[in-house]
Amino acid sequence: MVTLFRRLVGLGLVVVAGLVYADMAEKGTFACERAVGTCLHTVERLNGAVPARNIPLADVLGAGAKHSYWDESPGAREALARARSMQDVSAERLWVTRPAAGRSGSSSSSVVIFTRQGLVSLLPGGPPGTADVSGFTRFLAGEGDRFALVQDDRFSSLPLPVLLAGLGSVLLLFRGPDPPASRYHGIGDTRPR
């Protein structure tokens, strides 16, 4: 009975590991093409959901980092709507710093695109940003015909699912100790053999 329970828990952990990875893994892309004059923001998930948003290239002001302890200020959207460039908007008008009590132990940042329509997070709720923001700034200044900011979280989402799948596999494959051998072979037989 214990072996059956252990194997069911192991199988459950392996299944949950796949579900956790499918929920966590995503890839954010913000691709702009100068000839068309638009940018396309997509977030690809393993389950196939790809929400897309078109933004005119003329509305894109720049890209930067958003620290985990910053929240969008109430007036950020209006400030960005009136801006001609990123120099017209100060950080104080974009961000509100969360109180120290509301912060987590470590600070990370994510990539944010500044548009006249508001802030667009490259990978909403994503990990620290690793996208080439400086290359995107050069593209907005006129260098090149197309550019894409890409933040891929599919590999960095692996540790937890691998840990769960490994623990589940150990529970499935581990045989465990044999029960102690009985000294008596028959029911009711009390004689040692």
For every one of its 193 residues, what pLDDT tens digit does the chain have, with 9 covering 90 and above?
A: 667 888 888 888 888 888 888 877 788 888 999 999 999 988 888 877 677 889 999 888 888 877 777 777 888 888 888 887 777 777 777 777 777 655 555 566 778 888 888 888 877 655 555 566 788 888 888 888 888 888 777 777 778 888 888 888 888 887 766 666 666 555 655 555 5
Domains in the chain: boundaries: 1-25+157-174, 26-156
pLDDT score for 187: 60
pLDDT score for 180: 65
pLDDT score for 149: 82
pLDDT score for 124: 62
Q: Count CB-CB contacts under 10 A for residue 83.
A: 17
Q: Which long-range contacts (CB under 8 A, 24 or more apart) does 21-26 make?
A: 21/46, 21/157, 21/158, 21/161, 22/46, 22/47, 24/153, 24/157, 24/160, 24/161, 25/153, 25/154, 25/157, 26/123, 26/126, 26/153, 26/154, 26/157
* Distance in angstroms (rounded) separating the CA atoms of residues 192 and 185: 9
pLDDT score for 33: 92
pLDDT score for 106: 58
CA atoms within 13 A on the CB side of 146: 11
Q: Do residues 110 and 121 lie in contact, with contact meaning Cβ atoms separated by under 8 Å?
A: yes
